[in-house]
Amino acid sequence: MSVIYIMWLRQLKRYLRSKSRIIGSLGQPLLFLLSLGYGFGAVFQKAGEGNYIQFLAPGVIGMGIIFTSIFSGIEIIWDRQFGFLKETLVAPVSRLNIIIGRTLGGATVATIQGLIVFVLSIVMGFRPTSLHYLPLIIIVMILISLLFTALGTAIASTLEDMQGFQLIMNFLVMPLFFFSGALFPLEGLPVALGVVTKINPLTYGIDVLRGLLVNLNHFPIMMDIGILAVCTLLFLLIGTYLFSKIQI
């Protein structure tokens, strides 16, 4: 347990010490809230769908979480290049404890990021219908964070250079976000696009956040949480397995 705590604390300290990282990771969510939230607000309202900020904010919160959690995997490559990973792996401790601590640390950072974006969304004009579900909302944020931190870890465990990781992440993260229903309603989509959104695990995370925050969920909330939990467990197992196979 001490190893898990040390790895978790190390991830958290890295985040808190990097002021530029905290500020920089908020740029894209703010850009989306400003440009899309206010830019498409009038069009969305004319279509009879109400206030676009209310619809968009849960998706932007999800974006803040997924970008932070997936890119936490790059720290594995960074540690490998500078020798810290080798020192960690040759230590007489379980690799399982190491990856659990890393994943929990990355998920904690991503959850904090999601909460910061949530507060910024309120400043920008987002108004949740109720905050009674805030504890459940935080649990959902943690699930999303764990899922995509594990995904980032799984990918980073198979790569050795940062450029390759960044290329794969850009190729993966943007489609995951854009095809999650974060920017558009899931009703009335073309069949092909509907299938893509349904196999995207982020879709269910965004949908449950939207349901809990503004009561606009597309799927039943318990279905969203169930699928999200199963996907999280699956990616945690995959990430743990691939990390255990790293050669030093």
pLDDT band at 6; cut points 50, 70, 90: confident
User: Burial letters for 176-212: b for 16+ Cβ neighbours within 10 Å, e otherwise?
Assistant: bbbbbbbbbebeebeeeeeebbeebbbbbbbbbbbbb
Tokens of 34: 């400003």
User: Burial letters for 48-82: b for 16+ Cβ neighbours within 10 Å, e otherwise?
Assistant: eeebbbbbbbbbbbbbbbbbbbbbbbbbbbebbee
Q: Residue 197 contacts by C-beta under 8 Å, 6 or more apart in sequence?
A: 179, 180, 181, 186, 189, 203
Q: How far is CA 176 from CA 2, 51, 203, in A?
A: 35, 24, 8
pLDDT above 90 covers a percentage of the chain that reads 25
Tokens of 80: 């490998």
pLDDT band at 17; cut points 50, 70, 90: low
CB atoms within 10 A of CB 140: 27
What is residue 29's predicted lDDT score, i.e. its pLDDT?
82
Tokens of 92: 């007489």
If you average pLDDT over residues 172-185, what whole number do you get? Answer: 88
The predicted-structure confidence for 19-64, as pLDDT tens digits, reads as follows 566 676 777 888 888 877 777 766 666 655 667 888 889 999 998 8
Q: For the CA atoms of 221, 223, 224, 227, what is the dihedral angle to 10 degrees? A: 160
Reported pTM:
0.89
What is residue 68's predicted lDDT score, i.e. its pLDDT?
85
Tokens of 51: 């206030």
Q: Residue 71 contacts by C-beta under 8 Å, 6 or more apart in sequence?
A: 152, 169
223-227: long-range contacts, CB 8 A cutoff, minimum separation 24: 225/140, 225/143, 227/201
Domain that holds residue 101: 2-244
The predicted-structure confidence for 185-242, as pLDDT tens digits, reads as follows 888 888 889 899 999 999 999 999 999 999 988 899 999 999 999 999 998 888 888 8
| Full DSSP string of 19-50 | HHHHHHTTHHHHHHIIIIIIHTHHHHHHTT--
Domain tally, the chain: 1
